[in-house]
Amino acid sequence: MSSSASACLIAVKYLLVATTWVLFSDYLLTLVVLEPELQLQLQTYKGMAFVLITTAVLFFTARHQLRGRRQQELALRKNDERFNLALAGGNDGVWDWDLVDDAFYLSARCRELLGITAERPEGIAQQWLEYLHPDDKEPLRAAFIAHLRGKTERLELTYRVVGQHADLVWVQVSGQAVRNQQGRAVRLVGILRDISEQVRREQRLLQAGVMFDCTSEGMLICDAEQNIIDVNNAFCQITGYQPVDVIGRSPNLLASGRHDTEFYRRMWQQIMATGRWSGEIWNRRKDGEIYPQWQNIIAVKDHMGTLTHYVAVFADISMIKRSQQEIDYLAHHDPLTKLPNRLLFNERLNTAIVRASRHITTLGLIFIDLDRFKGINDSLGHSLGDEMLQRVAERVQQVCEDADTLSRLSGDEFALLVERPVGFDDLSKLAERIQQLLLEPFELNGQLIHMTASIGLSLFPSDGNDGAELLKNADSAVSLAKSRGRNSYAFYTQELTEQARRRMNLETELHLALQQHQLRVYYQLQKDLRSGQWIGMEALVRWEHPEHGVIPPDEFLPVARHAGLMGEIDEFVLHQACAQMRQWLDAGYPLRTMAVNMSGYWMERGDVLSSARSALANSNLDAHYLELEVTEDEVMHYGDLSVSLLDQLSELGVRLAIDDFGTGYSSLLRLKRMPVNKLKIDRGFISDLPGSESDSAMARTIIGLGKSLQLATIAEGIETQAQEDLLREFGCDAGQGYLYNQPLPAVEVEKILMAVEL
């Protein structure tokens, strides 16, 4: 009902009520009151009562209507406020187009999005069209016409607006037409939304998708449980796997097996800590080939910080590796002989010197200069000269061991790095062998060519402290060899040359010494530092040469090692020492042990166990009197072999001692497992006592270690009473040295033992 009809109805009702009231009340007055004067007076009162009653009714009715209207207005205002807040929260604008009156309403947000500044409605449409992107005007017009004609249920379209600052804004318009009873559109109402960021995200996703499929780098995506959910084309090309082979599986199927658990633990630790990892890793292709790749792994988290995915991007670097290897090879090798060139040789030489210095060992350098090679080049040509160099390199390589390095330094000069403990006699033998190999004629182009070489020899550390000095001195030795008529070799100094020749002579004479029984066993007493009693002996070999007198062991024992005679010498000393110990025990001397050195050569190549059994049986000596000493370095060098051998000797009843303790690189864990009875402190820690604080600390430490491991300790090289007193104070159990006696023959030692008895 319209407002006019409602008002008319109220007025008619009021008229009927008022008329009825007036007529009925007048009729009652005529019946009740007869005097006109009184009747007039009552009529006045009745009129006033009517006014009051109707006024009260109007007041309450009006108040009720106003309250209802106020509540409706408040509800409408709240609804309008909610609507505006919802639009503001969604960053959307509202538009309303009255098609009948051609009135266009745009909210403030719509004006902002469309770049419209006009306040008057008639200017809005013109500005909107000006800012509309030219390419979108016609599609937008066609979409509006189609919707107005009822061809689409809703109006949904996206277009571009050029903003005031020439920036492009993507907007999405959503709306619907309001139609009359005839179905004609009379009004369009809808929402306008800025979707620029959404469009940019979609474009980035589209670009990422294109990159994912087109990049040359392999990519795989895993979920939070590390199951593969997608791979790109490059992944399939690099690994040989197809998506159906890997999706749903763990990346572990690509593992090569070259990396240990610790490698992967550190990798995942970094990913968890920083969200990414980059590095080189070796994986396996589907055909089983192992290849290197450079890989980046990124942990992806959502806006809540929850891990959702892992993305791995990798490149196959096998070609790069091969190229690097080829470049490195060309940079470090002679292209003619394929030998290391001077650069690589110097690197290996310097590295070998550092290693030899750390392990306190030697190494050798052989400088080879071909004699009269220039004449071959001049007469036969450079092509045959190059072939000669190749043949020479092949022959010299025959003398090389795995650790050695043969290099072509330049022209006709070669150098051989002998990276193993060597002496003068070793280098002499190698030089002689090289000369023998070169003496055999070379057949070049049907001709027999004879070639000789002058060879220079130098040793580290005696002939130089660094690679350059060692190489220079070996080159100088070549000049000395050439001055002697070529086809010869020489050491850096004449003294060394003579020493090498002497060692060669010693080797020959040492064979005769063993045959003619020139070797003798000397003995050095061992003293209990607490009681002062003689408790044992150490057996030491000496060579009594018929012409040169007594030759010290440090001169002939290295020769014996290189000549392969150490096993025979060790056997001789062991049997002599056991027999002598038996005699002294039978004579009543209260000795506890006879110490015999057990060389590394004997451990490696000899049957120590059967030799010990034989010596003990032949001398009728109980096993606990025999104490075999092995150096700390040899124990570590032979590893498990030495531990097994010591276990067997311990089961036999033989006592065992570690000699030169403190000079090597012992593993305390291995030392703990070995059946050792005694530690022998090296004389190097005793000689400067009591003045050296560092040696005092070292001796005290070794003694404390021995006590912790329940091992006896004995110090060798005691020469003064002050040294003995200090070692006794430290808790050392026993000692030996020149303070008590030099190594002496058995007869002389007996005199000392008898003097104690007397």
What one-letter code names the amino acid at 459?
A: L
The model's pTM:
0.43
Q: What is the mean pLDDT of residues 323-333?
A: 80
Average pLDDT, the chain: 83
Beta bridge partner(s), residue 228? 222
Other Cβ atoms within 10 Å of 416 Cβ, number: 25
Whole-number pLDDT of residue 712: 94
Confidence of residue 585 (pLDDT cuts 50, 70, 90): very high
Whole-number pLDDT of residue 6: 60
> pLDDT by residue (tens digit) across 30-88?
666 557 777 677 777 777 877 787 777 767 776 777 777 787 777 777 766 666 665 55
Q: At what angle do helices 342-359 and 467-483 cross, to 10 degrees?
A: 110
> Which helix (H) or strand (E) covers residue 14, if one does?
helix 3-32
Whole-number pLDDT of residue 3: 58
Whether 620 and 588 have beta carbons less than 8 Å apart is answered as no
Backbone phi, psi, residue 98, to 5°: -85, 110
Of the candidate ranges 2-11, 313-322, 378-387, the one whose mean pLDDT is the lowest? 2-11
Whole-number pLDDT of residue 708: 87
Nearest alpha carbon to residue 317 among 294, 297, 295: 294
> pLDDT by residue (tens digit) across 406-447?
999 988 999 999 988 888 888 888 998 999 899 888 888 888
Backbone phi, psi, residue 439, to 5°: -70, -30
Residue 596 buriedness (CB in 10 A; 0-12 / 13-18 / 19+)? buried
> pLDDT by residue (tens digit) across 491-519?
887 565 566 667 778 888 888 988 898 99
Q: What is the CATH number of domain 90-200?
A: 3.30.450.20
Whole-number pLDDT of residue 15: 73
Q: Edge to edge, what strands does the sheet with 307-316 contain?
A: 228-231, 218-223, 307-316, 290-301, 276-284
Only one residue has tokens 């092509």, namely 383
Structure tokens that stand for 335 in this block: 């292209």
Q: What is the CATH number of domain 215-322?
A: 3.30.450.20
Nearest alpha carbon to residue 599 among 542, 643, 638, 647: 638
Strongest mean pLDDT among 202-216, 382-396, 597-611:
382-396
DSSP E strand stretches across 16-119:
92-98, 103-106
Contacts of 258 (CB under 8 A, 6+ apart): 282, 290
Give domain 517-748's CATH number out of 1.10.287.110, 3.90.950.10, 1.10.10.10, 3.20.20.450: 3.20.20.450
Of the candidate ranges 154-168, 275-289, 548-562, the one whose mean pLDDT is the lowest? 154-168
Rounded distance between C-alpha atoms, residue 262 and residue 373, angstroms? 56
Beta bridge partner(s), residue 681? 661, 715
Rounded distance between C-alpha atoms, residue 516 and residue 477, angstroms? 38
> pLDDT by residue (tens digit) across 555-582?
888 888 877 888 889 999 999 999 999 9
Rounded distance between C-alpha atoms, residue 187 and residue 176, angstroms? 9
Please determine, for residue 635, whether its predicted confidence score (pLDDT) is greater than 80: no
Only one residue has tokens 């990159």, namely 211
Only one residue has tokens 């690099």, namely 238
Backbone phi, psi, residue 741, to 5°: -175, 150
> pLDDT by residue (tens digit) across 177-210?
888 887 788 788 887 787 777 777 877 766 666 6
- Please, where in the chain does CATH 3.30.70.270 lie? 333-492
Rounded distance between C-alpha atoms, residue 498 and residue 552, angstroms? 18
Q: What is the mean pLDDT of residues 631-643?
A: 71
- Please, where in the chain does CATH 3.30.450.20 lie? 90-200, 215-322
Q: What is the mean pLDDT of residues 166-180?
A: 79
Please determine, for residue 757, whether its predicted confidence score (pLDDT) is greater than 90: no
Rounded distance between C-alpha atoms, residue 425 and residue 562, angstroms? 8
Please determine, for residue 123, whether its predicted confidence score (pLDDT) is greater than 60: no
Whether 222 and 214 have beta carbons less than 8 Å apart is answered as no
Structure tokens that stand for 460 in this block: 């580290």
Q: For a pLDDT cut of 70, what percent of the chain falls above it?
A: 87
Give the total residue count for the chain. 758
Contacts of 704 (CB under 8 A, 6+ apart): 731
Please determine, for residue 339, whether its predicted confidence score (pLDDT) is greater than 70: yes
Query: CA gyration radius for the chain?
Result: 55
> Which helix (H) or strand (E) covers residue 224, if one does?
none
Per DSSP, 252 falls in state: G
Rounded distance between C-alpha atoms, residue 17 and residue 21, angstroms? 6
Whole-number pLDDT of residue 45: 75
Rounded distance between C-alpha atoms, residue 146 and residue 324, angstroms? 67
- Please, where in the chain does CATH 3.20.20.450 lie? 517-748
Contacts of 601 (CB under 8 A, 6+ apart): 561, 564, 566, 567, 570
What are the respective helix, strand and coil percentages of the chain, to the nearest 5?
Answer: 55, 25, 25
Maximum separation of any 2 CA atoms in the chain, in Å: 190
The 3-class secondary structure across 639-677, one letter per residue, is CHHHHHHHHHHHHHCCEEEEEEECCCCCCHHHHHHCCCC
Distances in Å between the alpha carbon of 109 and those of 84, 131, 144, 304?
Answer: 11, 15, 21, 30
Whether 256 and 290 have beta carbons less than 8 Å apart is answered as yes
Only one residue has tokens 């050439």, namely 482
Fold of 333-492: Alpha-Beta Plaits (3.30.70)
More confident residue, 362 or 58: 362
Rounded distance between C-alpha atoms, residue 354 and residue 536, angstroms? 41
> Which helix (H) or strand (E) covers residue 575, if one does?
helix 566-586
Structure tokens that stand for 123 in this block: 């200017």
